[in-house]
Amino acid sequence: MDLNNIQRVYFIGIGGIGMSAIARFFNEKGVHVSGYDRTETPLTRQLAEEGMQIHYSDDVNLLDKDAQLVVYTPAIPGTHGELIWYRKNEYEVVKRSDVLQEITKELFAITVGGTHGKTTISTLTAHILRHSGYGCNAFLGGISANYDRNFWSSDKQVAVIEADEYDRSFLKLHPDIAVLTAMDADHLDIYGTEADMQDAFVQYTANIKPNGTLIAKLGLSRAGELKGDNKRWYHLKDSKANIYATNIRTVDGGYLFDVVEQDWHIHDVKLPIGGTHNIENAVAAITVAHLLGIDAAKIKAAIADFKGIKRRFEYLVKNDYQVYIDDYAHHPEELRALISSARGLFPDKRCTVIFQPHLYTRTRDLAAGFAESLSLADEVLLLPIYPARELPIEGVRSEILAEKITVPVQVIQKEDVLAWVKSNSAPLLITAGAGDIDQFRDPIKEILNGEKVNE
């Protein structure tokens, strides 16, 4: 696969967050880009406005028969008609991870992997490199609020890539700098056991190029097995790490802190977004930037200007009376960090969480952890499980979480969410999940701001 000689590329699942970044990569190179997705979304509308041709029905009469390369997401079932047609007719059909593999071969690659924090760290790292003038090509798993993009290009032969562990995709990447944030159990439908998943993360570090660097969170299990000719350990505040934060203060829903390394430090770093876990994410991004030789003053200025990522501890309403936060959290540890951080920032406000579980297998496998994390709230509303790529599993419903949660909880249907918000007081409201719960963001914001809602 020679990316430099491709003139036409077709995407099956073009509206996915990772797929759309690669589509934008080709589009900005002047390649003809077209594709299929199941439903129209704000992101697919953006792609169409940028010149890509997109349709929303699985129809071989609509696909590009002149495509030189076909890229598909592993979330697309093998029974998809267009995918079958391309394979039957012997087109070059690859996963998006295969394209990223080629990119990491050509560019100086900074990859961010781990079960939590990778979107924030990769986006913040790419933002620091862009804001400071260093430059990079960014392939992100979220929409940067600064640029309203999940991809941007640069003449600098450097790429920042979010390394997705689903379907073992990240094992195709060969980074010069690899960040590893966490190895908690997830995607057990793919890996089978937590041990097998950890094996994959160890292999991820084994793919670091010679003389490359691993930047890993201090305290990871199996840390002694992690590879990389050079290793740097980061942490929120543990002084045993090579780099960590200290003197942490809360300021207007964000934080002020110092970053300390043995021979280097930055005073009064201002992070405008909430979540103590995001301080640790910032420490990881700062470690990358420092390794690249970016000046401390430029790092500080970039972080102070960071507006966050859509659906990552995103403030949609924040005033003296009401705070509304929306977040992509879909794993127990992500929920724990989200809820505990929100409560720490707003300790006097009653906390209500509306959570949509994502995937039947994840809900089944991690039910106890979900219940424990959600019980950190004062009140929980559970939506039915969002199936994504899965078929229902008998006996696996949101009610299995409700039975284990120790605070007031109820399971409600999606059509009842806005009515609940209108008729109940929720001084600190959080919506969380990786499914389609994001459809309620704007209507809830309008209700809380006293605006007219189009239901």
Total Cβ atoms within 10 A of residue 197: 20
In the chain, what are the helix, strand and coil shares in percent, each to the nearest 5?
35, 25, 40
118 labelled binding-site residue: yes
CA–CA distance, 42 with 54 (Å, rounded to integer): 13
Pairing mode of beta strands 177-180, 108-113: parallel
SS3 for 90?
Answer: coil
117 labelled binding-site residue: yes
25-59 burial, b at 16+ Cβ within 10 Å, e below that, comes to bbbeeebbbbbbbeeebebbebbeeeebebbeebe
Total Cβ atoms within 10 A of residue 278: 26
172 labelled binding-site residue: no
Return the ∠ at Cα 268 (arms to 265 and 273), rounded to 5°.
Answer: 115
116 labelled binding-site residue: yes
CA–CA distance, 448 with 120 (Å, rounded to integer): 27
Distance of CA 373 to the CA centre of its chain: 19
Two tokens at 134? 């260093």
CA–CA distance, 335 with 66 (Å, rounded to integer): 45
CA–CA distance, 161 with 147 (Å, rounded to integer): 17
CA–CA distance, 46 with 52 (Å, rounded to integer): 9
Pairing mode of beta strands 254-261, 264-271: antiparallel
Two tokens at 220? 């990871």
Two tokens at 92? 């070059």
Helix or strand run (H / E) with residue 142: strand 137-144
Residue from 218, 245, 215 nearest 227 by CA: 215
Sign of CA dihedral 254, 16, 21, 194: positive
User: Which amino acid is residue 24, in one-letter code?
Assistant: R
In this structure, what DSSP letter does residue 251 have?
E
Annotated binding site for ATP: 114-120
Binding-site residues sit at 114-120
